[in-house]
Copies of this chain bind each other. A is one copy, B any other.
Amino acid sequence: MTVESTAPRKTRGGKRAGSRKPAGEPQLVQLLTPEGERVEHPDYAIDVTPEELRGLYRDMVLTRRFDGEATTLQRQGELGLWASLLGQEAAQIGSGRASRADDYVFPTYREHGVAWCRGVDPVNLLGMFRGVNNGGWDPNENNFHLYTIVIGSQALHATGYAMGVAKDGADSAVIAYFGDGASSQGDVAEAFTFSAVYNAPVVFFCQNNQWAISEPTEKQTRVPLYQRAQGYGFPGVRVDGNDVLACLAVTRAALDRARSGQGPMLIEAFTYRMGAHTTSDDPTRYRRDEERELWEAKDPILRLRRLLEREGHADEAFFAELEAESDALAKRVRDTVRTMPDPDRMAIFDNIYADGHALVDEEREQFAAYQASFADEESR
Protein backbone atom coordinates (compact mmCIF):
# COMPACT_ATOMS: atom_id res chain seq x y z
CA MET A 1 0.00 0.00 0.00
CA THR A 2 1.64 3.22 -1.08
CA VAL A 3 -0.92 5.71 0.13
CA GLU A 4 -0.02 7.29 3.44
CA SER A 5 -3.45 8.23 4.58
CA THR A 6 -4.71 10.47 7.32
CA ALA A 7 -8.28 10.89 8.32
CA PRO A 8 -9.60 13.60 6.02
CA ARG A 9 -12.01 16.24 7.10
CA LYS A 10 -15.41 15.83 5.64
CA THR A 11 -16.22 19.48 5.18
CA ARG A 12 -14.90 21.99 2.74
CA GLY A 13 -13.96 25.62 2.43
CA GLY A 14 -12.80 26.10 5.97
CA LYS A 15 -16.31 25.80 7.31
CA ARG A 16 -15.09 23.66 10.14
CA ALA A 17 -12.84 26.35 11.50
CA GLY A 18 -15.40 27.71 13.92
CA SER A 19 -15.78 24.52 15.88
CA ARG A 20 -12.44 24.46 17.58
CA LYS A 21 -12.02 21.46 19.78
CA PRO A 22 -10.13 21.83 23.02
CA ALA A 23 -6.64 20.47 22.57
CA GLY A 24 -6.74 16.73 23.05
CA GLU A 25 -4.06 14.79 24.83
CA PRO A 26 -1.58 13.97 22.12
CA GLN A 27 1.08 11.34 22.35
CA LEU A 28 4.09 13.17 23.68
CA VAL A 29 7.35 12.62 25.44
CA GLN A 30 6.91 13.33 29.11
CA LEU A 31 9.32 12.78 31.98
CA LEU A 32 7.62 14.88 34.63
CA THR A 33 3.88 14.95 35.04
CA PRO A 34 1.89 18.05 35.91
CA GLU A 35 1.59 16.55 39.35
CA GLY A 36 5.34 16.57 39.67
CA GLU A 37 5.94 12.90 39.25
CA ARG A 38 8.92 11.53 37.39
CA VAL A 39 7.98 9.10 34.65
CA GLU A 40 10.17 7.22 32.24
CA HIS A 41 10.19 7.20 28.46
CA PRO A 42 11.77 4.36 26.54
CA ASP A 43 13.67 6.61 24.14
CA TYR A 44 14.55 9.50 26.38
CA ALA A 45 16.12 8.55 29.66
CA ILE A 46 17.64 11.33 31.71
CA ASP A 47 19.71 11.39 34.84
CA VAL A 48 19.56 14.68 36.68
CA THR A 49 21.15 15.46 39.99
CA PRO A 50 19.24 17.39 42.62
CA GLU A 51 21.55 20.27 41.91
CA GLU A 52 20.67 20.23 38.25
CA LEU A 53 17.00 20.12 39.11
CA ARG A 54 17.41 23.14 41.34
CA GLY A 55 19.31 24.84 38.55
CA LEU A 56 16.50 24.27 36.07
CA TYR A 57 14.01 25.49 38.61
CA ARG A 58 16.04 28.60 39.25
CA ASP A 59 16.34 29.27 35.51
CA MET A 60 12.60 29.06 35.06
CA VAL A 61 11.78 31.19 38.07
CA LEU A 62 14.24 33.91 37.16
CA THR A 63 13.12 33.89 33.56
CA ARG A 64 9.52 34.22 34.56
CA ARG A 65 10.35 37.01 36.95
CA PHE A 66 12.35 38.85 34.34
CA ASP A 67 9.53 38.39 31.87
CA GLY A 68 6.97 39.72 34.31
CA GLU A 69 9.16 42.69 35.06
CA ALA A 70 9.43 43.45 31.36
CA THR A 71 5.66 43.34 31.02
CA THR A 72 5.39 45.81 33.88
CA LEU A 73 8.01 48.05 32.35
CA GLN A 74 6.03 48.07 29.14
CA ARG A 75 2.91 49.11 31.00
CA GLN A 76 4.88 51.88 32.62
CA GLY A 77 5.93 53.14 29.24
CA GLU A 78 9.56 52.11 29.56
CA LEU A 79 9.23 49.63 26.70
CA GLY A 80 7.27 50.09 23.53
CA LEU A 81 6.28 46.45 23.40
CA TRP A 82 6.93 43.16 25.11
CA ALA A 83 6.47 39.60 23.91
CA SER A 84 6.05 37.50 27.02
CA LEU A 85 7.19 33.88 27.27
CA LEU A 86 4.85 33.17 30.16
CA GLY A 87 4.01 29.48 30.17
CA GLN A 88 6.84 28.50 27.85
CA GLU A 89 9.61 28.46 30.47
CA ALA A 90 10.09 24.71 30.41
CA ALA A 91 10.34 24.53 26.63
CA GLN A 92 12.93 27.28 26.62
CA ILE A 93 14.98 26.37 29.67
CA GLY A 94 14.92 22.67 28.89
CA SER A 95 16.05 23.16 25.31
CA GLY A 96 18.34 26.03 26.21
CA ARG A 97 20.18 23.99 28.81
CA ALA A 98 20.56 21.16 26.33
CA SER A 99 22.82 23.18 24.05
CA ARG A 100 26.56 23.36 24.49
CA ALA A 101 28.56 26.57 24.47
CA ASP A 102 29.86 25.81 20.98
CA ASP A 103 26.40 25.17 19.61
CA TYR A 104 24.65 28.05 17.90
CA VAL A 105 21.13 29.23 18.60
CA PHE A 106 18.76 31.06 16.26
CA PRO A 107 15.79 32.43 18.22
CA THR A 108 12.53 34.14 17.31
CA TYR A 109 11.56 37.20 19.35
CA ARG A 110 10.25 35.29 22.35
CA GLU A 111 13.21 33.16 23.46
CA HIS A 112 14.09 35.09 26.60
CA GLY A 113 14.54 31.85 28.50
CA VAL A 114 16.89 30.45 25.92
CA ALA A 115 18.84 33.70 25.93
CA TRP A 116 19.15 33.34 29.69
CA CYS A 117 20.61 29.86 29.30
CA ARG A 118 23.07 31.10 26.72
CA GLY A 119 24.34 33.76 29.08
CA VAL A 120 22.91 36.81 27.38
CA ASP A 121 22.25 39.52 29.94
CA PRO A 122 18.45 39.84 29.99
CA VAL A 123 18.78 43.59 30.05
CA ASN A 124 20.22 43.41 26.57
CA LEU A 125 17.07 41.77 25.33
CA LEU A 126 15.10 44.87 26.17
CA GLY A 127 16.84 47.28 23.86
CA MET A 128 14.77 46.42 20.80
CA PHE A 129 11.54 46.47 22.79
CA ARG A 130 12.43 49.85 24.19
CA GLY A 131 13.31 51.06 20.73
CA VAL A 132 16.95 51.93 21.34
CA ASN A 133 18.28 49.32 18.94
CA ASN A 134 17.14 46.46 16.70
CA GLY A 135 19.34 43.89 18.36
CA GLY A 136 21.34 44.65 21.42
CA TRP A 137 23.97 41.98 21.76
CA ASP A 138 26.90 40.46 19.93
CA PRO A 139 25.58 37.18 18.51
CA ASN A 140 28.99 35.59 18.57
CA GLU A 141 29.60 36.32 22.22
CA ASN A 142 27.21 33.61 23.34
CA ASN A 143 26.50 31.92 20.03
CA PHE A 144 23.00 33.33 20.30
CA HIS A 145 21.78 35.05 17.17
CA LEU A 146 19.69 38.21 17.21
CA TYR A 147 15.97 38.07 17.62
CA THR A 148 14.31 37.68 14.24
CA ILE A 149 10.92 39.24 13.80
CA VAL A 150 10.01 38.26 10.27
CA ILE A 151 8.49 34.87 10.82
CA GLY A 152 10.47 31.80 9.80
CA SER A 153 13.50 33.49 8.23
CA GLN A 154 15.92 32.28 10.87
CA ALA A 155 15.23 28.63 10.10
CA LEU A 156 17.23 29.12 6.91
CA HIS A 157 20.00 31.03 8.64
CA ALA A 158 20.31 28.20 11.14
CA THR A 159 20.42 25.66 8.34
CA GLY A 160 23.11 27.59 6.49
CA TYR A 161 25.09 28.00 9.67
CA ALA A 162 24.83 24.26 10.28
CA MET A 163 26.00 23.57 6.73
CA GLY A 164 29.03 25.64 7.62
CA VAL A 165 29.59 23.73 10.84
CA ALA A 166 29.59 20.50 8.84
CA LYS A 167 32.02 21.96 6.32
CA ASP A 168 34.33 22.92 9.15
CA GLY A 169 34.20 19.38 10.43
CA ALA A 170 33.25 20.75 13.84
CA ASP A 171 31.12 18.64 16.10
CA SER A 172 28.84 21.47 17.15
CA ALA A 173 25.17 21.63 16.41
CA VAL A 174 22.69 24.38 15.67
CA ILE A 175 19.19 24.94 16.96
CA ALA A 176 16.49 27.02 15.32
CA TYR A 177 13.45 28.16 17.23
CA PHE A 178 10.11 29.01 15.67
CA GLY A 179 6.42 28.88 16.47
CA ASP A 180 3.41 26.93 15.33
CA GLY A 181 2.42 29.81 13.08
CA ALA A 182 5.85 29.93 11.53
CA SER A 183 5.51 26.32 10.42
CA SER A 184 3.37 27.59 7.53
CA GLN A 185 6.08 29.83 6.08
CA GLY A 186 7.77 28.64 2.92
CA ASP A 187 11.13 29.51 4.44
CA VAL A 188 10.68 26.92 7.16
CA ALA A 189 9.82 24.28 4.56
CA GLU A 190 12.88 25.24 2.53
CA ALA A 191 14.98 24.95 5.66
CA PHE A 192 13.67 21.41 6.08
CA THR A 193 14.62 20.64 2.50
CA PHE A 194 18.10 22.12 2.67
CA SER A 195 18.90 20.60 6.04
CA ALA A 196 17.82 17.16 4.88
CA VAL A 197 19.61 17.30 1.53
CA TYR A 198 22.87 18.49 3.12
CA ASN A 199 22.35 16.45 6.25
CA ALA A 200 23.05 19.59 8.24
CA PRO A 201 23.48 19.35 12.01
CA VAL A 202 20.47 21.45 12.90
CA VAL A 203 17.60 20.91 15.30
CA PHE A 204 14.31 22.62 14.59
CA PHE A 205 12.60 23.47 17.85
CA CYS A 206 8.99 24.45 17.28
CA GLN A 207 7.23 25.82 20.31
CA ASN A 208 3.64 25.03 19.55
CA ASN A 209 2.04 27.38 22.02
CA GLN A 210 -1.35 26.79 20.38
CA TRP A 211 -1.67 30.29 19.02
CA ALA A 212 -0.24 32.53 16.33
CA ILE A 213 -1.57 35.82 17.63
CA SER A 214 -5.32 35.12 17.31
CA GLU A 215 -5.13 32.02 15.17
CA PRO A 216 -5.26 28.57 16.70
CA THR A 217 -2.94 25.87 15.37
CA GLU A 218 -5.79 24.43 13.31
CA LYS A 219 -5.33 27.38 11.00
CA GLN A 220 -1.80 26.20 10.22
CA THR A 221 -2.10 22.43 10.04
CA ARG A 222 -4.58 19.62 10.35
CA VAL A 223 -2.16 17.09 11.73
CA PRO A 224 0.31 17.39 14.59
CA LEU A 225 3.25 19.54 13.58
CA TYR A 226 5.99 17.11 14.56
CA GLN A 227 4.80 14.87 11.71
CA ARG A 228 5.89 17.47 9.19
CA ALA A 229 9.49 16.30 9.40
CA GLN A 230 8.92 12.81 8.18
CA GLY A 231 8.00 13.84 4.67
CA TYR A 232 11.33 15.64 4.45
CA GLY A 233 13.23 12.57 5.56
CA PHE A 234 14.12 13.26 9.14
CA PRO A 235 12.49 12.43 12.45
CA GLY A 236 10.00 14.53 14.33
CA VAL A 237 8.95 14.20 17.91
CA ARG A 238 6.38 15.86 20.09
CA VAL A 239 7.46 16.64 23.61
CA ASP A 240 5.54 18.00 26.56
CA GLY A 241 6.63 21.58 26.30
CA ASN A 242 5.73 22.28 29.89
CA ASP A 243 8.03 19.54 31.11
CA VAL A 244 11.51 20.91 31.49
CA LEU A 245 13.08 17.48 31.86
CA ALA A 246 11.52 16.11 28.72
CA CYS A 247 12.51 19.21 26.77
CA LEU A 248 16.05 18.88 28.07
CA ALA A 249 16.28 15.17 27.28
CA VAL A 250 14.78 15.33 23.83
CA THR A 251 16.73 18.39 22.77
CA ARG A 252 19.97 16.97 24.09
CA ALA A 253 19.35 13.77 22.16
CA ALA A 254 18.52 15.69 19.00
CA LEU A 255 21.60 17.88 19.28
CA ASP A 256 23.81 14.87 19.90
CA ARG A 257 22.24 13.14 16.96
CA ALA A 258 23.01 16.15 14.76
CA ARG A 259 26.50 16.40 16.17
CA SER A 260 27.22 12.80 15.28
CA GLY A 261 26.36 13.33 11.64
CA GLN A 262 22.82 12.04 11.61
CA GLY A 263 21.30 15.25 10.38
CA PRO A 264 18.31 17.36 11.28
CA MET A 265 15.45 16.64 13.59
CA LEU A 266 12.22 18.46 14.42
CA ILE A 267 11.02 18.85 17.97
CA GLU A 268 7.51 20.09 18.60
CA ALA A 269 7.25 21.35 22.14
CA PHE A 270 3.59 21.25 23.00
CA THR A 271 3.01 24.20 25.27
CA TYR A 272 0.83 27.23 25.76
CA ARG A 273 1.15 30.97 25.49
CA MET A 274 -0.35 31.94 28.85
CA GLY A 275 -0.31 35.65 28.16
CA ALA A 276 -1.19 37.89 25.29
CA HIS A 277 0.74 37.59 22.03
CA THR A 278 2.46 40.83 22.96
CA THR A 279 1.50 43.71 25.18
CA SER A 280 -0.35 45.15 22.16
CA ASP A 281 -2.62 42.15 21.96
CA ASP A 282 -5.99 41.47 23.56
CA PRO A 283 -6.58 37.73 23.71
CA THR A 284 -10.06 38.11 25.22
CA ARG A 285 -11.19 38.82 21.69
CA TYR A 286 -10.37 35.36 20.46
CA ARG A 287 -9.93 32.79 23.19
CA ARG A 288 -11.76 31.56 26.24
CA ASP A 289 -10.50 31.84 29.78
CA GLU A 290 -11.21 28.16 30.37
CA GLU A 291 -8.50 27.20 27.94
CA ARG A 292 -5.96 29.17 29.92
CA GLU A 293 -7.16 27.60 33.13
CA LEU A 294 -6.68 24.14 31.66
CA TRP A 295 -3.10 24.96 30.93
CA GLU A 296 -2.51 26.62 34.26
CA ALA A 297 -2.85 23.20 35.78
CA LYS A 298 0.10 22.10 33.67
CA ASP A 299 2.35 24.93 34.77
CA PRO A 300 5.99 24.09 34.12
CA ILE A 301 7.40 25.72 37.24
CA LEU A 302 4.83 24.39 39.63
CA ARG A 303 5.41 20.80 38.58
CA LEU A 304 9.14 21.00 39.12
CA ARG A 305 8.60 22.63 42.49
CA ARG A 306 6.35 19.71 43.43
CA LEU A 307 9.10 17.30 42.50
CA LEU A 308 11.74 19.23 44.39
CA GLU A 309 9.56 19.38 47.46
CA ARG A 310 8.37 15.79 47.33
CA GLU A 311 11.88 14.47 46.87
CA GLY A 312 13.32 16.85 49.41
CA HIS A 313 15.75 18.25 46.87
CA ALA A 314 15.23 21.81 47.95
CA ASP A 315 14.53 23.38 51.27
CA GLU A 316 12.85 26.57 52.32
CA ALA A 317 16.15 28.41 52.31
CA PHE A 318 16.59 27.59 48.63
CA PHE A 319 13.21 28.99 47.73
CA ALA A 320 13.74 32.04 49.90
CA GLU A 321 17.14 32.71 48.39
CA LEU A 322 15.72 32.34 44.94
CA GLU A 323 12.98 34.80 45.80
CA ALA A 324 15.62 37.28 46.87
CA GLU A 325 17.64 36.63 43.74
CA SER A 326 14.51 37.22 41.67
CA ASP A 327 13.88 40.51 43.38
CA ALA A 328 17.43 41.57 42.78
CA LEU A 329 17.23 40.63 39.14
CA ALA A 330 13.98 42.50 38.76
CA LYS A 331 15.44 45.56 40.40
CA ARG A 332 18.54 45.50 38.26
CA VAL A 333 16.46 45.14 35.13
CA ARG A 334 14.17 47.96 36.19
CA ASP A 335 16.99 50.30 37.12
CA THR A 336 19.06 49.59 34.05
CA VAL A 337 16.20 49.94 31.64
CA ARG A 338 14.95 53.15 33.12
CA THR A 339 18.32 54.74 32.60
CA MET A 340 18.99 53.12 29.24
CA PRO A 341 19.88 56.11 27.11
CA ASP A 342 18.43 56.88 23.72
CA PRO A 343 20.95 56.30 20.97
CA ASP A 344 22.77 59.24 19.54
CA ARG A 345 20.85 60.54 16.55
CA MET A 346 23.88 60.07 14.34
CA ALA A 347 23.52 56.33 14.92
CA ILE A 348 20.94 56.41 12.13
CA PHE A 349 23.89 56.33 9.77
CA ASP A 350 26.01 53.76 11.57
CA ASN A 351 26.62 50.16 10.57
CA ILE A 352 24.54 50.30 7.42
CA TYR A 353 27.57 49.07 5.54
CA ALA A 354 30.76 47.49 6.80
CA ASP A 355 32.82 49.05 4.01
CA GLY A 356 31.08 52.40 3.71
CA HIS A 357 28.77 53.84 1.05
CA ALA A 358 29.13 57.26 -0.53
CA LEU A 359 25.46 58.15 -0.20
CA VAL A 360 25.40 57.30 3.48
CA ASP A 361 28.42 59.51 3.99
CA GLU A 362 26.75 62.34 2.13
CA GLU A 363 23.49 62.02 4.01
CA ARG A 364 25.30 61.78 7.33
CA GLU A 365 27.07 65.03 6.63
CA GLN A 366 23.93 66.77 5.48
CA PHE A 367 22.09 65.57 8.55
CA ALA A 368 24.87 66.78 10.82
CA ALA A 369 24.89 70.16 9.14
CA TYR A 370 21.11 70.36 9.39
CA GLN A 371 21.24 69.53 13.09
CA ALA A 372 24.01 72.03 13.58
CA SER A 373 21.86 74.72 12.02
CA PHE A 374 19.41 74.37 14.91
CA ALA A 375 22.21 74.55 17.40
CA ASP A 376 23.38 77.71 15.66
CA GLU A 377 19.89 79.16 15.80
CA GLU A 378 19.53 78.31 19.44
CA SER A 379 22.87 79.77 20.33
CA ARG A 380 22.05 82.95 18.48
Contacts and interface: CB of A to CB of B under 8 A. Distances in A.
A9 B199 contact: yes
B166 A193 contact: no
Given A166-B13, A230-B230, A4 B223 contact: no
A234 B262 CA distance: 27
Contacts of A230: 4, 6, 223, 227, 230-231
Given A2-B237, A228-B231, A193 B220 contact: yes
Contacts of A43: 1, 3
B186 A4 contact: no
A261 B10 contact: yes
Interface string A186-209: 110110010011111100000000
A231 B222 contact: no
Contact of A262 (B8, B233, B237): B8
B232 A228 contact: yes
Nearest to A257: B8
Contacts of A300: none
Interface in A227-277: 227-238, 257, 261-263
A82 interface: no
A75 to B, nearest CB: 35
Contact of A29 (B2, B14, B227): B2
A29 B6 CA distance: 19
B261 A2 contact: no
Contact of A231 (B5, B12, B166, B223): B223
A167 interface: yes
Contact of A198 (B13, B184, B223): B13
B199 A12 contact: yes
Interface in A161-192: 163, 166-167, 183-187, 189-190
A76 interface: no
Contact of A220 (B2, B28, B197): B197
Contacts of A11: 199, 261
Contacts of A228: 231-232
Contacts of A343: none
A228 B227 CA distance: 10
A232 B221 contact: yes
Contacts of A234: 6, 8
Contact of A263 (B8, B28, B238, B261): B8
A197 B226 contact: no
A220 to B, nearest CB: 7
A184 B195 CA distance: 12
A219 interface: yes
Interface string A138-178: 00000000000000000000000001001100000000000
A14 B261 contact: no
Contacts of A24: none
Nearest to A223: B233
11 contacts: A1-B43, A2-B27, A2-B29, A2-B226, A5-B235, A8-B234, A12-B198, A189-B189, A189-B190, A193-B221, A223-B230
A-B pairs, top 8 by smallest CB distance, nearest first, are A186-B186, A189-B189, A223-B233, A231-B231, A13-B166, A228-B231, A222-B233, A12-B166
